[in-house]
Structure 1
Amino acid sequence: MQNWQSEFTQHLTLLQLRVAEILKLESLDALLIHSGQLKKTFLDDLHYPFQVNPHFKHFMPLVALPNSWILLNGVNKPKLVLYQPENIWQATPKLAIEEWQQWFEVDMLTRAELVGDVLPYDRANMAYIGENIEVADALGIGHKNPEPVLHYLHYHRAYKTAFELSCIRQANKKAIAGHLAAKQSFSQGQSEFEIQQAFCRATGQTESDLPYPNIVAVNEHGAILHYDQQNRTAVPCHSMLIDAGAQHFGYAADISRTYSTESSRFSELIDAMGVLQQGLVAQVRPGLKFVDLHNEMHLRIASLLLEYQLVAGSLESVIEQGITQTFMPHGLGHLLGLQVHDVGGFMQDDRGTNLTPPETSPYLRCTRVLELNQVLTIEPGLYFMPQLLSQLKQQAGGKQVHWSLVEALLPYGGIRIEDNIIVHAAKAENVTRELGLS
């Protein structure tokens, strides 16, 4: 990101225009965006790892600044109130203030409770954006997380600036290094915990730096969608499903791969799912309804199940009986950006009109029409989950399943292949593949 400063200037200019527009629409004076506060663990003086307000890092792309503020009116230079305590207990991140002064009027704050001294006196017609409502009340901020403002900001966050796209590419580079290290660790027969450590070393990020808890699932653990146990004991490995990311300037990468240690029907299914996933990516274009692409995924999975004789019958019957929902119960993907499951996935306009997922796909996280500069994941899966399979056995569709073949795959858990995609006019940019992860 050699040109990140110029890209950030353009990014901040566009965000200022958005702020000016929503303030005008809602007749507000300014936005006060709070980075958040440290949270103590129960009955202790230790703190949970700090998670910054995503709205804060949209304007100030740093993640380790608790008790800091940004004041915006869309016209004047934004004010950054930077908390820099004199603290003998913890190290406080030190910023090159002169670098950020080209974009912000910077005020330093050594005591969080004195923030009112550096903010405008009259805050009755300002909007607080953050989770600490009691702080907003104490400061006399008149509006707390007003829905029209949040709807507007969330909807437009789906359209990424050049700066944001660069950050997502950089996050992918870091995550790819981690995935390659994890693959090597898996091939050496190491435990889930050791594979996770290899990933973190390669990315240069601690677990609290990562945008989400990594999923490192060996063998049957791959059938648990959000598996997070990280077994410390190495076991004979058949397969590994890894869903792991990294972050850059607060922007996330979210990548999944599945590997097998042996040539088998499962390894053939991995290859087939890779082809299926790339076929779906090739369909990504402006104007496409994401729900339609999700439905296309189910058609292709039904075809794959028939091809590998895991089920019998017609393509139509496999879909109508809901059989593919057993093997692929989650959504095709989601918006990606400042949050892994970025906001605005159901929003059809900036007034907050939502389109809920189809009843057959309740876990789908995006129902938007794809447009330029949106970033999303494409992550089809094929899982062998004992709970769902036992339910299918009791249903009419269970008669179409070749149970001996399916049950032979239970020790392998499941398959998920996930890339990060940018929507362009001519074709989709598969960031993950183009940066080197096959």
Structure 2
Amino acid sequence: MNQPDFDALYADHLATMKRRADEALSRSGFDHLVVPSGTQHYQVFDDRDYPYAVNPQFKAWLPLTRVPYSWLVYTPDTSRPGQRPKVIFYQPFDYWHVVPDAPSGWWVEHFDIHIIRKPEEALALLPKPAARCAVLGEPQSTLGDYAPNNPAAAVDYLEYQRSYKTPYEIALMREAQHLAVRGHRAAEAAFREGKSEFAIHMAYCGAVGQDLGELPYNNIVALNEHGAVLHYTELGRSAPAPVRSFLIDAGASFHGYASDITRTYATDKSGEFQAMIDAVDAAQIKMGEGVRAGVDYKQLHVDSHLTLMGILKDFGVIKVSPEAALETGVSAAFFPHGLGHPIGLQVHDVAGFAESDRGGKIPRPPGHPYLRMTRVLEPGMVVTIEPGLYFIDMLLDEVKKNGRADSVDWGRVDAFRPYGGIRIEDEVMCTAGDAVNLTRPAFAAAA
């Protein structure tokens, strides 16, 4: 696989970031954009810190994810033509922890870099007065008079623009796909060898080369009935007997950008559950092809319910039409989450509900409370497409309580219940033409 030219891609990305910052500052009435990288948070009544998570507004500018107490400062060129943005880089004198390496990489030549040894040294380098700064961050990042004010006009605009990925961002996201696919292949092999959830998880982490502090989210590694728990993260230490099925939802990070991939497997490759997996997989590919400019993501979600209920109808699980299952809420018992979400700097990226770059919210369709994306698709957006079918006792009991028991063949439910559920998830980019699946080519290349 050829490595992208990140130097050239980053230069164009930075130009885009500057244009966006100019507009954000103009709208909010501030002179300077100041973005802290974030701080370490300590556990209550303890001297242990929580895993550090970088401010997404910071890593949107810089491929730096492990530099707490650092700052990004941007002032539009109109005030001093030719000036470069400033990075205040925290590199402490510390023999208790590993000190960040000196700044290096494709971004360095574009910034004025100032090294500080103590967090408070940043005060002398931040623009004055603090009242003229739009400071984007969390309250814990406050330093002197520089308290994050997160002006809505700036944040709404910048988060909305993050929906449109630059070529640089897409290149980083592709790399995150390839890393995650390595882990998925290792995890499937461990499953086929009869390993426990914990051992499968460790095989995944080893193949990706990332642990819990680096992965974009906690891995979901679920055998058998555990696949019916949407966010199952318990990691059993011994494998069940027999092992019937395996659902893994796991991603990877690359310079601050996330991947999010789900696959489901059956032990018996010729059995009914494998046939249902194959049906969901084929449907998922078609759904991904529907990611096109001008398409309402809400409609994609509703249409996915009809498609999935068609699969359950074909397998004899439901006895009513897909339309009736959707209308009566039966479909939500088998597919209780949304079709997907925006992805990028964050796994569930921002602005999925944004009405415009000036704020506002597009509501979810009635009866679909967990959908995380309600916008019309546009070129540059990247979304996940993750349909699922599950056999969840709690939700199936609700079907009975709501007087819809006759809609379901409970004998067929019992046949599939020991397998938990199925979810297939890819990341798909919207373009001016056909959808571009970012995930499947990574699997093809690895094979």
- For the aligned pair, the TM-score class normalised by the smaller chain equals over 0.9
Q: CA deviation at 1:254?
A: 0.1
Letter in 2 for 1:147: A
For residues 64 and 375 of structure 1, the distance between their equivalents in structure 2, rounded to whole angstroms, comes to 25
Q: How big is the shift at 1:97?
A: 4.4
Pick aligned residue for 1:269 from 276, 286, 311: 276
| 1:250 to 2:256 alignment | yes
Give per-residue Cα distances to partners, 1:73-99, cap 9 Å, x unaligned: 232311000000000100012034486
Name the aligned partner's letter for residue 73 of structure 2: L
Task: Report the count of equivalent residues.
Answer: 436
The yes-or-no answer on 1:26 pairing with 2:32 is no
Mapping for residues 160-179 of structure 1, pairs under 5 Å: 160-179=165-184
Matches within 5 A, 1:35-46: 35-46=37-48
Where does 1:32-431 land on structure 2 (aligned, <5 Å)? 32-75=34-77, 76-97=83-104, 100-132=107-139, 135-136=142-143, 138-140=144-146, 144-236=149-241, 237-262=243-268, 263-431=270-438
TM-score of the two chains, using structure 2 as the length reference:
0.95
- 8 Å contact from structure 1 (residues 97, 106) kept in 2: no
Deviation at 1:404?
Answer: 0.8
1:39 to partner: Cα distance: 1.1
Q: Gaps spanning 5+ residues in structure 1: where?
A: none
* Matches of 1:99 and 1:169, distance apart in 2: 18
Letter in 1 for 2:311: L
CA distance, structure 2, for counterparts of residue 222 and residue 357 of structure 1: 26
SS of the equivalent of 2:142 reads helix
Write the letter of the residue equivalent to 1:149: A
Identity of aligned residues (%): 41
Query: Counterpart of 1:242 in 2: which secondary structure?
Result: strand
Amino acid at match of 1:325: A
Equivalent pair of 1:18/1:74 in contact (CA under 8 Å): no
The letter of the residue matching 1:188 is E
| 2:130 alignment partner, SS class | coil
Q: Distance in 1 between matches of 2:321 and 2:246?
A: 31
Letter in 2 for 1:344: A
Counterpart CA distance in 2 for 1:190 and 1:134 is 43
Residues 241-299 of structure 1, C-alpha deviations (whole Å, 9 max, x = no match): 10000010100000000000013221111000001111111111100000010011011
Shift of 1:43: 2.3
Pairwise CA distance, 1:118: 1.6
Could you state the TM-score of these two structures normalised by the residue count of structure 1? 0.97
- Structure 2 regions of 5+ residues with no counterpart? 78-82
Instruction: Give, as a single letter, the amino acid of the residue that structure 1 aligns with 2:230.
Output: L
Question: Do the aligned partners of residues 121 and 194 (structure 1) sit closer, same or farther apart at CA in structure 2, a change above 3 Å counting?
Answer: same
In 2, Cα distance between equivalents of 1:68 and 1:57: 11
How large is the RMSD of aligned CA atoms in angstroms?
1.4
Moved more, 193-202 or 276-285: 276-285
Counterpart amino acid of residue 289 in structure 1 = D
SS at match of 2:333: helix
How many Å separate the matches in 1 of 2:66 and 2:105? 18
- Secondary structure in 2 aligned to 1:331? coil
